[in-house]
Amino acid sequence: MNKDLFNIVRILNIPGVGPRKTLDLLAQFKTLDNIFKASYQDLVKISGIKDRIARAILDAVDEELIEGQIKLIEKFNVELVSIWDDAYPERLKEIYDPPIALFCRGNLDLLRGECIGIVGTRTPTSYGKDIATEFSRELSQRNMTVVSGAAKGVDSIVHGSCLNASGKTIAVLGNGVDRVYPAENRKLYDDLVGNGLLISEFLMGSKPDAPNFPRRNRIISGLSLGTVVIEAAERSGSLITAYFALDQNREVFAIPGSIKSRQSQGTNQLIKQGAILVSSVEDIFEELGEKYKMGQSQGQQELSISTDSKEAAILEHMPGSDLIQIDDLASLSGQTTFALLSTLLQMEMKGLVQQSPGKYFKRMF
């Protein structure tokens, strides 16, 4: 059995050890093999590695689970691309918490292309459907690889339109690449395996659990030069993708919509907050190559400082104006790091918190 593959699957299966903690461990121990050979005393010296996690790392290997994973990888012709492999996208390495490995089904060459993300509501209007079809087709024809999340609605339209135009598209999943979700997308999955690419950071057989989708969203934006948001409600997973793009210093584009449409409330709000309003693919290409960070555009309206209950609860755990690292804040608030980050990014947009290098945050009032 390939030892590298064995160790990658092993580290991915340890509760509490996500991409960021794995990278912190690798900075100290250099290889996965060395991590598993480390002593308890050396492990707990690493920031964020508490007693429970150190013991989980040192627990006996679940060889049956790992062997089962490897059999599924072989059965579904999956390529496991690790962060050390040449095929791993360079742009994705730049984000704070890049996946340690990507489970891939389809054309790996698409990972090397220039990508644009397109996301949107699961319940698009006829206007949203038309825009999703038009933009994805035209971007495909301009040799861009279009990235989306294979969900109902806009995502599925985007992938289908790219494939119909013989274009390039990557679907980032919130479940294992051997599972079809939603079930109605089985043909789309088959088409993506044959003519596009399915990728996921989740182990084979992983269910589409709710916490997986914010993690998926930061990969969509992380792969892309910029992300286009087509119709999103005021509270939408698509907005989380936009906030991740902001955090990653990537472009954020928004399609304006009717002020009377619930599906356009989120996209119109993004434009107020500084996202680039686009009405054509040409608008996107005009912006690409220019350094842009949402929230710094000239003439942006100042956001009112108001908090919802979730944001107020997070602020209670932030010590005055002192910096606190996101892992420590996650422990105090009882949330996962990924769920907490999406809320913090929205709070940063409001001016409630400020972020410093290393994912340290402080409250601003």
User: Residue 272 belongs to a domain with what CATH number?
Assistant: 3.40.50.450
Q: How far is CA 49 from CA 18, 27, 173, in A?
A: 11, 13, 28
Q: Which of the listed residues 75, 91, 123 is the one where a domain comes to its end?
A: 75
Same domain, residue pair 191 and 256: yes
Q: Total domain count for the chain?
A: 3
Same domain, 267 and 338: no
Q: Is position 325 within any domain?
A: yes
| Burial state string for 42-63 with b = 16 or more CB within 10 A and e = fewer than 16 | ebeebebbeeebbeebeeeeee
Kindly give the confidence (pLDDT) of every residue in the chain, 365 residues in length, as a single tens digit, with 9 standing for 90 and above. Answer: 477 899 999 999 998 899 999 999 999 999 999 999 999 999 999 988 999 999 999 998 889 999 999 999 999 999 999 999 999 999 999 999 999 999 999 999 999 999 999 999 999 999 999 999 999 999 999 999 999 999 999 999 999 999 999 999 999 999 999 999 999 999 999 999 999 999 999 999 999 999 999 999 999 999 999 999 999 998 888 999 999 998 998 999 999 999 999 999 999 999 998 899 999 999 999 998 643 333 333 333 333 344 567 788 888 888 777 888 888 888 888 887 777 887 887 787 667 888 887 788 888 76
- Is residue 95 one of the residues assigned to a domain? no
The domain containing residue 14 runs over which residues?
3-75
Is position 84 within any domain?
no
Instruction: Specify the amino acid at residue 175.
Output: N
Q: Is residue 94 part of a domain?
A: no
Does 250 lie in the same domain as 124? yes
Q: Do 54 and 21 share a structural domain?
A: yes
- The DSSP symbol for 104 reads E
Looking at the domain assignment, is residue 82 inside a domain?
no
Q: Are residues 162 and 221 in the same domain?
A: yes
Do 223 and 129 lie in a common domain?
yes
DSSP type of residue 209: -
pLDDT of residue 199: 98
Question: Which residues lie closer than 8 Å to 224 by C-beta, 6 or more apart?
Answer: 91, 115, 116, 117, 147, 245, 250
Q: Are residues 108 and 249 part of one domain? A: yes
Is residue 206 located within the same domain as residue 131? yes
pTM: 0.82
Question: Are residues 272 and 349 in contact, defined by beta-carbon separation less than 8 angstroms?
Answer: no
Q: Verify that 46 and 125 share a domain, yes or no.
A: no
